[in-house]
Amino acid sequence: MSTPQGHHFLQIPGPSPVPERVLQAMHKQIIDHRGPEFARLGRDVLAGCQAIFQTGNPVIIYPSSGTGAWEAAIVNTLSPGDKVLMVETGHFATLWQKMAARFGLEVDFIRGDWRHGVDPAAIEAKLAEDATRAIKAVMVVHNETSTGVLSRIADIRAAMDRADHPALLLVDTISSLGSADYRHDEWGVDVTVSCSQKGLMLPPGLGFNAISDKALEASRHNTMPRSYWDWQEMLKPNANGFFPSTPATSLLYGLRESIAMLLEEGLERVFTRHRRLAAATRAAVNAWGLEILCLEPAEYSPVLTAVIMPAGHDADAFRKIVLERYNMSLGSGLSRVAGKVFRIGHLGECNELTLLGALTGVELGLAAAGVPHRPGGVAAAMANLAGRNADPAVP
């Protein structure tokens, strides 16, 4: 295979491309993580994270993957044998459910079709039936990365309130934070889980827990064993900008810069940009005559679009052709939808021209792979971005 030329289009739904500003910010010599310069860095990123999560409460940063942040949320709030309510919205919701079971939690797992988000009415019904208040937490994924479905967290919180149930609300924002509107405090979330390599535009390696007062109180009384993940051990040194163990200093430099970029653009503008790019992507998919995996328009993800391959065609074979011929990586289908869908990421440092280049690669790839489709998807996306109908008669 010949050496690829030109820019590589990384259009998977994370890790996302790292902006040049962030790369340069990380290109620094390591400093004393017990010294005053680091304390300033630590205070900057901890305060900046509060702005991104939209919370006045603590945000804890771990040197970890998002999986580690999942674990931290569990071990700090729940005890072995506790009952939790979870919903099968896709591959990652299923993985979090499996983790919960391994910690000895009793999981009531509402089954799903991988094409819809969490149904708030189903949550309300389950909680209303729980007369003994045995359910200690509702655990849901905000943006299901495997399916391109966004669940309505504010509606879930409202459903919990209508049921007048004291369960904690734990939310995975691993692929949505910094790309989709998310409000930890306003939406009454108790633990928000996230990580660095998606909307925060960093390399993998940082995990986050944003915590409410109620969650912090639960952590003082639950009995799940923990050491490295213990919030209490993190919060003590965090008060002065430090960490109890060796921090990922280079990533924290990058985090400070990525937070600055998001706040300079303005969070609402960031979210609007992502919605605009997602709508253009869907316009292209519809013009090609292909099917979007997400069935509910109110749940379309601004982060990625999952596309169903026509019957008799393999999504991974198509992705291989796109990579080898056009130097572009598309997201694969995971577990239940492996080989059946491909995913177009449009998150992080992505603008109109980047997206149109990616969609051009998809359209070229569809033709090269012999996938049945109608031409004109890129033109439809351009028309959508220009704010007019994809009508060839329009000048």
Strand bridging mode 143-144 / 59-63: unpaired
Tell me the β-bridge partners of 149. 144, 300
The predicted pLDDT at position 17 comes to: 97
Query: What CATH code would you report for 20-264?
Result: 3.40.640.10
Residue located via tokens 């910094």: 178
Which amino acid, residue 31? Answer: I
In DSSP notation, 298-313 reads: GGB-SSEEEEEPPTT-
Query: Which DSSP state fits 224?
Result: -
State how far the Cα of 272 lies from the Cα of 348, in Å rounded to an integer.
12
- Is 343 annotated in a binding site? The answer is yes
Query: At the topology level of CATH, where does 9-16+267-385 sit?
Result: Aspartate Aminotransferase, domain 1 (3.90.1150)
Tell me the β-bridge partners of 308. 291, 341
State how far the Cα of 387 lies from the Cα of 381, in Å rounded to an integer.
10
Domains of the chain, by residue range, sit at 9-16+267-385, 20-264
pLDDT along the chain (395 residues), means of 10: 82 97 97 98 98 98 97 98 98 98 98 98 98 98 98 98 98 98 98 98 98 98 97 97 97 98 98 98 98 98 98 98 97 98 98 98 98 98 80 38
Residue 164, C-beta contacts closer than 8 angstroms, at least 6 positions apart = none
Asked whether the whole model's pTM tops 0.75, one would answer: yes
Query: Which DSSP state fits 357?
Result: H
Q: What angle do CA 74, 188, 88 make, to 5 degrees?
A: 50
As a whole number of Å, the end-to-end CA separation of the chain is 42
